[in-house]
A and B are shown apart, each in its own frame.
Chain A
């Protein structure tokens, strides 16, 4: 397997370039402040439901080798 992130310096530069280009790219995207009617809808929230997300995370954390990545998860051993 290729070892990712072996060279911290390169990673830093790549990350910086990525963030700057993302930000510059992003500045041409978006809406005016009064055009957020659709984005303000409940179903457009990230995540849609924190409770559903917590329950899902708990199941998959117990049943699969990968977990998290979306936000910080809660504790628990997830045994079985």
Chain B
């Protein structure tokens, strides 16, 4: 019969790349298991995704981030995912103060030094340097033919910051797996311990007499405690729906509630006089709670030789920040297995109710204030291109290059005096380069 075909069973010999063997051994050693799979299980081999990303802002922050993600599917459809992330960050970051016609002197957040910002320049604190190590683990397993449960944890540590979190998620399939509902909860606990301590809300930056005992005393007086913490609860419900053979959509609603220290200990506000001259700098103060609602929708459509991935996110929070994010990726698939994927992202946010670019000398201090442009009105866009190609034995290599542009906008507060002559809302450009290898 023509329909029936029998193929010979043959033994296939594959030479594995050395790196994979090494990583497998390392992963197994970490887990205390044997690197050689037992004969009677259908466990898959470990799969690794490795990536290195370089982020570079013109004149500001430079960051390099490396990821090794490992995952393995076991014989009963359980999946274990482990991820190690290491990133190093150096450079200069806006401290919140406004530019002035003349040079300005600031004290570093640690109290161990000072820096001078030239006239006309946006004040940047150029001593940021941090290394972060993050470990993530996630276990997912079917509970029945329709229910799947997942639980995971995360630990990350940097010089002055620690975060620990746990999450669990339950999914239920309906309609022959064409519809999937999921619900999850996550809890995170973060501790910040900045060098030089946590500044008191609206404490004045101590500048005069640097190096003297009076300075040290005044600096100590401007500090509250050595560390502080925050706790975050996230809830997420999602629906994934197969529309047809070529299309899938996902919709999520998530709620996030944070309680604790939400202020940035490194940011200040300039206090200006009627002519716009900075008289002093006050440490910012933010509310100690924030709750966010997010609606996220994504759709993927496969055209056969290309794929369109679009997503939209609306987020609103009780700091009165509303944001819209549009993301479009179009992957062109070549017959060789190579692909080219242009990427476009637009983001727009409104300002937090307590955002203000500066404080005025004669005004009464508000309850909360921050001049951090990242919680002000802000538009950003990203333009990117990714190129990927298959390698031997199911491995793959991809590279991407992205350009990110930030355009902070005026909150409408009138500038006056010398503030008219300086840039209060400086734009920022960054380049992102990434190489990913999966094996």
Q: Do chains A and B stick together as partners? A: yes
Measured between beta carbons, the chain B residues less than 8 angstroms from A32 are 176
CB pair B174–A4 under 8 Å, yes or no, is: no
Measured between beta carbons, the chain B residues less than 8 angstroms from A50 are 49, 69
Interface size class of B (residues with CB under 8 A): 35 or more
Chain B nearest Cβ from A72, distance in angstroms: 4
* With contact pairs A29-B243, A29-B244 given, residues A69 and B163 touching in the complex (Cβ less than 8 Å): no
* With contact pairs A66-B349, A69-B315, A75-B165 given, residues A31 and B178 touching in the complex (Cβ less than 8 Å): yes
CB pair B378–A64 under 8 Å, yes or no, is: yes
Docked Cα-Cα span, A48 to B179, in Å, equals: 19
CB pair A39–B242 under 8 Å, yes or no, is: yes
Partner-binding segment picked from B111-119, B294-302, B359-367: B294-302
Chain A nearest Cβ from B8, distance in angstroms: 26
A-contact 0/1 string along B360-394, CB 8 Å cutoff: 00000000000000110010100000000000000
Docked Cα-Cα span, A69 to B240, in Å, equals: 14
Measured between beta carbons, the chain A residues less than 8 angstroms from B410 are none
CB pair A76–B89 under 8 Å, yes or no, is: no
- Complex: chain A residue closest to B68, CB-CB: A51
Q: In A22-50, which residues have CB < 8 Å from any B CB?
A: 22-23, 26-27, 29-33, 35-39, 41, 43-44, 46, 48-50
Is residue B61 within 8 Å, beta carbon to beta carbon, of the partner chain?
yes
Is residue B80 within 8 Å, beta carbon to beta carbon, of the partner chain?
no
A-contact 0/1 string along B248-262, CB 8 Å cutoff: 101010101000000
Is residue B340 within 8 Å, beta carbon to beta carbon, of the partner chain?
no
Is residue A13 within 8 Å, beta carbon to beta carbon, of the partner chain?
no
A-contact 0/1 string along B215-231, CB 8 Å cutoff: 00000000000000000
CB pair A46–B250 under 8 Å, yes or no, is: yes
B-contact 0/1 string along A15-26, CB 8 Å cutoff: 000010011001
- Complex: chain B residue closest to A37, CB-CB: B245
Is residue B73 within 8 Å, beta carbon to beta carbon, of the partner chain?
no
Is residue B289 within 8 Å, beta carbon to beta carbon, of the partner chain?
no
**Residues of A at under 8 Å CB distance from B?**
1, 4-5, 19, 22-23, 26-27, 29-33, 35-39, 41, 43-44, 46, 48-52, 54-55, 58-60, 63-66, 68-72, 74-77, 79-80
Instruction: List 11 A-B pairs, Cβ < 8 Å.
Output: A19-B181, A29-B175, A31-B178, A46-B248, A46-B300, A49-B436, A63-B404, A66-B347, A72-B186, A72-B236, A79-B93
